[in-house]
Amino acid sequence: MEFSIIIPAFNEENNIPRVLEAVHALQDQCEILVVNDGSVDYTSDVVRSYGISVHDLPVNRGKGYAMWEGLQNTSKEVIVFLDADLIGLQPEHVLKMVGPISDDLADMTVGIFTSGRGITDLAQKLTPFLSGQRAIRRSILEHLDKEEWISGYGIEIALTRYVREHNLRLLEIPLDNVSQTIKEEKLGLAKGMKARLKMYWEIAKEINRV
């Protein structure tokens, strides 16, 4: 089954090369698009240096909106969402997420970090529904409403809730030796904590949305 990879990215020039190296190996099998969410660094230039398509947003609109823009600018039936700051991602990890959908064993798969870094392994073990690594049918995504797409980091909550409320098939896929750069490492302690609190607020807002 053909699939599209969408990678939302905001100021990820230092982290995204690791992800691009992994997905670049899949270019013959899929469509790849990075949505540059109003970055003020060289994220777009780095992506283009890998021969991968970029959709530039003029201002930062948040993760959910960037994912929606990616959906509007890709065409395949299966959509894979990947974070731009992953560590240890390999092409086979992506194929493991796509496989159950291609084989009609799942409607959405969620990638869960294992055997990577303790801090990210634990976070995903406790809250797997917050993982940004997902493969899902386009037809499901088209049923989400606008409020869910503009919920920032709340989009993962919205996706999980929709699948569960409609009794769709959800599988968790272990992503061995994969982790990601945490916000405090990217931004420094103070700015990183501020960004984390903003993320938690967006998540909590979506959880409480009726």
* pLDDT tens column, 128-146: 567 899 999 999 999 888 8
- How high is the mean pLDDT of the chain? 86
Closest C-alpha among 168, 32, 167 to residue 89: 32
pLDDT at 130 (0 to 100): 73
Local confidence band at 148 (pLDDT 50, 70, 90 cut-offs): confident
Burial class (CB in 10 A: 0-12, 13-18, 19+), 143: exposed
pLDDT at 115 (0 to 100): 61
Residues with Cβ within 8 Å of 128's Cβ and at least 6 positions away in sequence, in order, are: 110, 112, 172
pLDDT of 72-95, one tens digit each? 999 999 999 999 999 999 999 999
pLDDT at 15 (0 to 100): 95
What top-level class would CATH report for the domain 3-180? alpha beta
Cα–Cα distance measured from residue 67 to residue 46, given in angstroms and rounded to the nearest whole number: 19
Structural domain boundaries of the chain?
Answer: 3-180
pLDDT at 194 (0 to 100): 63
